[in-house]
């Protein structure tokens, strides 16, 4: 589904990302963990062609993301609130995204149903612009918009950040359901080790721009990660 080949990103002479090889199979859910500044967002930005690598290429289903637009039709992503249109209401934004994918109002309503628990009556019918929502609620809007098109590939940067504990658990369950019901391929970065392990069957550790570990999740993974990050 996704292949990264010999990718490098250099900022002001400093290597931010340096990954010779990385691939995600269709249907796989992969968690990306790493300390602040490890390069997670930079990697996602290159995968989504939001920034160009200094060297190397990203292929989505064999298409070079820098040379094709076709991958955008089956890719959903939310990296930060910059993805949102903050002068729209949540409903207007969902309609905008739905229109891009040819969805009717009925389709949008139906596809938002699994988000009702997560939305907690604080997102729809609020008569306010996205810019006036809390950071956590903006994140919920962004994640729902990313999932709205029922993408084959879903990329989320720190989806659990800024969410209260109940919302984190609801989001975790929602992502797990998307995996099992729709076989969505997922690439998710997180500082929340326990949640990301529960959603993803494979975990990669990024350190100073390099992939230093790539492991299948099992009952020991949380302990292994905690000991890795204990300094
Ligand atoms: N536009 C930029 N200009 C210069 N340096 C940048 C830029 N974007 C990122 N960097 C640098 O690249 C490195 C990786 O940053 P990145 O934001 O990708 O890390 P991250 O793993 O997502 O961190 P965090 O967990 O704090 O969000 C950092 O050293 C950062 O300062």
Q: Which residue's C-alpha comes closest to atom 8 of ligand 1?
A: 42
Residue 44 CA, closest ligand 1 atom number = 18
Pocket of ligand 1 (CB under 6 A): 11, 16, 34, 36-42
Cα 17 to middle of ligand 1, angstroms:
9
Cα 2 to middle of ligand 1, angstroms:
22
Cβ–Cβ under 8 Å, residues 143 and 78: yes
Q: How high is the pLDDT of residue 187?
A: 98
Crossing angle of helices 165-182 and 135-148, in 10° steps, is 10
Of 41, 46, 207, the residue with max ligand 1 atoms within 8 A of its CB, to mutate for a pocket test, comes to: 41
DSSP state at residue 39:
S
Residue 206 CA, closest ligand 1 atom number = 21
Rounded to the nearest 5°, which phi and psi values hold at 87? -95, 10
Of 14, 32, 40, the residue with max ligand 1 atoms within 8 A of its CB, to mutate for a pocket test, comes to: 40
Pairwise CA distance, residues 167 & 171, whole Å: 6
Enter the tokens of residue 64: 């070079």
Any residues with CB less than 8 A from the CB of 194 and at least 6 apart, and which? 222
Q: Residue 60 pairs with which residues in a beta bridge?
A: 2, 63
Pairwise CA distance, residues 123 & 21, whole Å: 40
- Which secondary-structure segment (H or E) carries 131? none
Pairwise CA distance, residues 160 & 121, whole Å: 19
Pairwise CA distance, residues 112 & 141, whole Å: 10
pLDDT along the chain (231 residues), means of 10: 97 95 96 96 97 96 95 96 95 96 95 96 95 97 97 97 95 94 95 94 96 94 92 74
Q: How far is CA 47 from CA 16, 71, 72, 77, 92, in A?
A: 14, 11, 11, 11, 28
Pairwise CA distance, residues 135 & 46, whole Å: 24
Q: Which CATH number does the domain 2-229 belong to among 3.90.1300.10, 3.40.50.1860, 3.40.50.970, 3.40.50.300?
A: 3.40.50.300
Q: Which residue's C-alpha comes closest to atom 1 of ligand 1?
A: 11
Cα 127 to middle of ligand 1, angstroms:
35
Pairwise CA distance, residues 6 & 128, whole Å: 45
Any residues with CB less than 8 A from the CB of 183 and at least 6 apart, and which? 26, 27
Give the start-to-end residue ranges of the domains of the chain. Answer: 2-229
Q: Which residue's C-alpha comes closest to atom 31 of ligand 1?
A: 37
Q: How high is the pLDDT of residue 231?
A: 74
**Overall residue count recorded for the chain in this entry:** 231
Any residues with CB less than 8 A from the CB of 81 and at least 6 apart, and which? 135, 138, 139, 142
Cα 81 to middle of ligand 1, angstroms:
16
Q: Which residue's C-alpha comes closest to atom 9 of ligand 1?
A: 42
């Amino acid at each position: 589904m996704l292949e990264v080949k010999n990718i490098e990103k250099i900022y002001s002479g400093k290597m931010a990302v340096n990954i010779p090889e990385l691939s995600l199979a269709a249907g796989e859910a992969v968690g990306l963990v790493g300390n602040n500044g490890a390069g997670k967002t930079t990697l996602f930005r290159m995968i989504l062609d939001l920034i160009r690598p200094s060297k190397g290429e990203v292929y989505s289903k064999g298409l070079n993301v820098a040379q094709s637009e076709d991958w955008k039709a089956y890719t959903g992503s939310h990296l930060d609130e910059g993805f949102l249109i903050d002068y729209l209401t949540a409903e207007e934004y969902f309609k905008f995204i739905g229109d891009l994918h040819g969805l009717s109002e009925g389709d949008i309503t139906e596809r938002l149903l699994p988000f009702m628990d997560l939305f907690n009556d604080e997102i729809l019918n609020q008569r306010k612009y996205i810019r006036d929502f809390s950071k956590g609620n903006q994140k919920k809007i962004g994640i729902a918009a990313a999932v709205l098109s029922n993408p084959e590939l879903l990329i989320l940067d720190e989806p659990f950040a800024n969410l209260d504990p109940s919302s984190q658990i609801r989001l975790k369950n929602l992502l797990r359901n998307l995996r099992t019901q729709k076989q969505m391929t997922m690439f998710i970065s997180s500082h929340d080790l326990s949640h990301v392990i529960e959603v993803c069957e494979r975990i990669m550790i990024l350190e100073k721009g390099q992939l230093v570990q790539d492991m299948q999740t099992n009952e020991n993974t949380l302990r292994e990660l905690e000991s890795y990050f204990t300094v």
